[in-house]
Structure 1
């Protein structure tokens, strides 16, 4: 017969059992740092309803995901919509864009948000900059990009807040970066350059990097025929007086790669969608190609006119626009694991329009 256990020995045995159990669980449980997905693993986050043709994916500070839609190249009478999703891809709400010219090519891009939480929506058919308050569903006209007599119709494409709290807008149709004051008002041509003048395919992404006090700007092609329809990623520094500095080339693409939107990791690496050759490319901060994510990505939906790369945690969300072959089943948001986190959205406290 064993000796009876005293209360003190009972407590000690219980503590020892707990420690042994904890050690066993630590040995068998996966570590918190272990990645749930391999780098490059791609899946479909969400399928886009009509009218389809999703554009830039914006991740709001509220954790929700917003995407706008473009027109069907075959022609239809549908107005563009803005969709709202959770970070896991559940559709929550959508809004139909008012005031579009249904006789013209149309589309909207949810380019960013402001310090009041409103979405900044760039509208193609009339060259408008709108805000959408997701709490009320109210759209408000903030500005209209003017025509240039010698450059054609404006197409506001991407936008980023600058160091002064003003909104800077790239123009796909004109070789201009526009500046809209922090309090709202008339857009002014802040930077013009022949380097931004595309041969039909113009200026696309724009992201501000506070660490270098500069904008990174992507360009699908230039108007120089000797450039062989290659695209570029440029750096444009902002001088202390707020004026643009010199434009320099970070990276030059292959012919008809058609660089579109991009996202920047905290490491400085750049993830850039190539709309023309259906790839996602990872560049070092100096512009060296580190990795290419090919069209056949394993998700069941190949990259098909991918138009952006937006960080959500260690994932990059890509709008699959299918702009050329117009396949509705390809109108999705793709979710690519890249194994590193994105640079936080630059959102100054003054970043608000009217």
Structure 2
């Protein structure tokens, strides 16, 4: 449902009537006319964009394939380039934009295997402002100091892992989802060896596994997006948004299903609004779906799947994340299936509410 802005003419009429009624009875018609003219001269406040209004925030240069978009506390916006099978010999990059979408600079990722399997996800930030970067070719957890350009390796995940999304926990631990294995990893406060903190058949998606991961401190749970759920509890090719409790002693709690997707919708990254609503990117059907905090679907955009028609110059093409910036979400348009360079962009989609900042505790530090 779209939010219809108040018509300027209606606002003007109401203001003029108020001014006329507020005039003393001895005021002349000329004074009344002057007051009305003064009201008319005041510029009307710009109307807020209608819900789901979409525009291009920025195109993403080569090597393209943008992943999760991170809105930093320094006011800048960051995204990495993800797996690109054709980009042999080309390192992944981390790009930086202003909040208005102006590209400022970028950094190549050092030490990658450049066989086409390379990719990076700017997954989080530390308390002191370094970017938390997940690198796929060598399964590394890295940090990038955007003030100095210095990279640092923090940890390496076991063979067969594809580190995907990350979120801070209540004690300064870092939880990391794994796209290839049914595991949520836990990196201890300050850094160290990742440990398999939680594993379950529900996180087994074969080639289409676990994606978005966000900690909700008010509910003390991790919200997890799963592209396919192959544990027999639902139809194959359908995904889910799950809730996994975090107990006060730091152990995992119960895993519950909040919402089940349709076939091949492939839920990916998501943002959480101040209302508690979740805005989830559906990579498979080129849509965004809005859920309540308990997983009830309330809206989706666009209505027609697959076509990606959003009213902007760039259609949705494998949208893979939704990050709040003001009252809109930044959607990374990865074009992972078609590989269309012209569609590899970050789109800004109005949702009509502000978002909750990603959880960033005081202990959110890595590497000293």
Instruction: Tell me if TM exceeds 0.5.
Output: yes
Q: Within the alignment, does 1:263 sit opposite 2:271 as a pair? A: yes
Match of 2:242 among 229, 234, 238: 234
Instruction: For residues 89-120 of structure 1, give each alpha carbon's deviation from its aligned partner in whole angstroms, at most 9, with x where no partner exists.
Output: 00111000000011251100000101010000
Q: What's 1:274 paired with?
A: 282
Q: What's 1:128 paired with?
A: 140
User: Secondary structure in 1 aligned to 2:347?
Assistant: strand
Q: Within the alignment, does 1:314 sit opposite 2:300 as a pair? A: no
User: Secondary structure in 1 aligned to 2:342?
Assistant: helix
The separation in 1 between residues aligned to 2:116 and 2:170, in whole angstroms, is 35
Q: TM-score, normalised by structure 1?
A: 0.90
Cα distance, 1:75 vs. partner? 4.6
In structure 2, the CA distance between the partners of 1:245 and 1:41, relative to structure 1 (3 Å rule), is same
In structure 2, the CA distance between the partners of 1:247 and 1:27, relative to structure 1 (3 Å rule), is farther
Q: What's 1:332 paired with?
A: 345
Instruction: For residues 167-197 of structure 1, give each alpha carbon's deviation from its aligned partner in whole angstroms, at most 9, with x where no partner exists.
Output: 1100101111111111111111111111111
In structure 2, the CA distance between the partners of 1:35 and 1:114, relative to structure 1 (3 Å rule), is farther
Q: What's 1:118 paired with?
A: 130
Instruction: For residues 187-236 of structure 1, give each alpha carbon's deviation from its aligned partner in whole angstroms, at most 9, with x where no partner exists.
Output: 11111111111131000000011110111000000234662210100001
The separation in 1 between residues aligned to 2:274 and 2:280, in whole angstroms, is 15
Please, which runs of 5 or more residues in structure 1 have no aligned partner?
A: 1-16, 148-152
Work out whether residues 199 and 229 of structure 1, in 8 Å CA contact, stay in contact via their aligned partners in 2: no
Q: Within the alignment, does 1:201 sit opposite 2:208 as a pair? A: yes
In structure 2, the CA distance between the partners of 1:29 and 1:203, relative to structure 1 (3 Å rule), is farther
Match of 1:223 among 211, 214, 230: 230
Q: What's 1:188 paired with?
A: 195
Cα distance, 1:26 vs. partner? 5.3
Cα distance, 1:56 vs. partner? 0.5
Give me the CA root mean square deviation: 2.0
The separation in 2 between residues aligned to 1:19 and 1:190, in whole angstroms, is 72
Q: TM-score, normalised by structure 2?
A: 0.86
Cα distance, 1:18 vs. partner? 12
The separation in 1 between residues aligned to 2:192 and 2:204, in whole angstroms, is 25
Please, which runs of 5 or more residues in structure 2 have no aligned partner?
A: 1-29, 303-307
Report runs of 4+ in structure 1 exceeding 4 Å deviation: 17-32
Cα distance, 1:288 vs. partner? 1.7
In structure 2, the CA distance between the partners of 1:127 and 1:38, relative to structure 1 (3 Å rule), is same
Cα distance, 1:138 vs. partner? 0.5
Q: Within the alignment, does 1:108 sit opposite 2:108 as a pair? A: no
1:1-354 matches, cutoff 5 A: 29=42, 35-103=47-115, 105-147=117-159, 153-224=160-231, 227-294=235-302, 295-354=308-367
